[in-house]
Amino acid sequence: MKTGVLVMAYGTPTTPENIEPYYTLIRHGRPPTPELLADLVRRYSAIGGTSPLNERTDAQVEGIRDALEQLSPGKYDVRFGSKYEPPLLEEIAQTFVRDGFEKVIGIVLAPHSSTMSTLQYMTRAKEALGEGIEFIEIGEWYEFPGFLELIAKRVNEALAKIPAERRATTEVLFSAHSLPEKILANGDNYPDQLLDSAKRAAAIAGVTEWDIAWQSAGRTADPWIGPDILQVLRDKRASGVTDIVSCPIGFVSDHLEVLFDIDIEAQGVAKEVGLNIVRTVSLNADQEFVDILANIVQHADA
């Protein structure tokens, strides 16, 4: 009997027409206001109408599948389920039930873990699998050997694009998706994970000047974790920083939060204040990265 592997990610609308129903779904059935919808459509339009996230995720899943087959031929059956777009993770989880699997390993394509993000994936998957299947949940995996080394390599590649005479006034800014502050009341250590991963990656890269920031906060009345990256960029320039290496360490592929929030919005603020930003190259389906993910899965199955 093969071991199932349920790879999960957020999902994104596949066409401009799907943006409104997608937005309604992520708002738990509450349709967005015309203003909120127009803002999201504007952001998607700025990066070409839709996000490449689905294609990037498909390539990552295929890479994990191939890498696991190389590691353990015939042992794993890798399937993908999305949080908000078909194929939904519940539907894919139920295919494991239908096909008689006894064990399924769950992994979310996000290196950090939170009660409001990755835990929700796991809870939904576990409920869909039911009691008859052993479900192995992989939580935060940023500490797994190889990942932070790969991030550090990306940081150094970006630093190499900054003139040597400006290195003394250059900082690396690690960022991740903000979440509502209310998660902190229950002891969620998501911010600690970002800080720890940034500190370790900077040390591996040999970087002493670095900081963290939060990005992509939701358009809600609730306060979100900060400081926001746009304000941080303004503050860095005011303190004498000339160049920033932007490393969105919380994201593993090109999508709206990188292509718009960093490459357009953050770059716009940087130009406004006279700051140069070089972003690290996204991991996407880089062979080294999918090999790391496959090793994480295999290690969880040990």
Average pLDDT over the chain, rounded to whole? 97
Query: Do 200 and 78 fall within a single domain?
Result: no
Give the gyration radius of the chain's Cα atoms.
20
pLDDT at 136 over 90: yes
Query: Do 198 and 235 fall within a single domain?
Result: yes
CA quadruple 68, 73, 75, 77: dihedral, nearest 10: 60
Q: Is residue 219 very low, low, confident or very high in pLDDT (cuts 50, 70, 90)?
A: confident
Reported as a single tens digit per residue, the pLDDT across 255-270 is 999 999 999 999 999 9
Residue 149 pLDDT: 98
Bigger pLDDT: 141 or 220?
141
Query: Do 110 and 29 fall within a single domain?
Result: yes
How many distinct structural domains can be found in the chain?
Answer: 2
pTM for this model (two decimals): 0.97
The H or E element spanning position 136 is strand 134-137
Phi and psi, residue 259, nearest 5° = -70, -30
Query: Do 179 and 251 fall within a single domain?
Result: yes
Query: Do 235 and 164 fall within a single domain?
Result: yes
Residue span of the structural domain in which 229 resides: 147-279
Query: Do 267 and 289 fall within a single domain?
Result: no
Percent of the chain with pLDDT over 90: 98
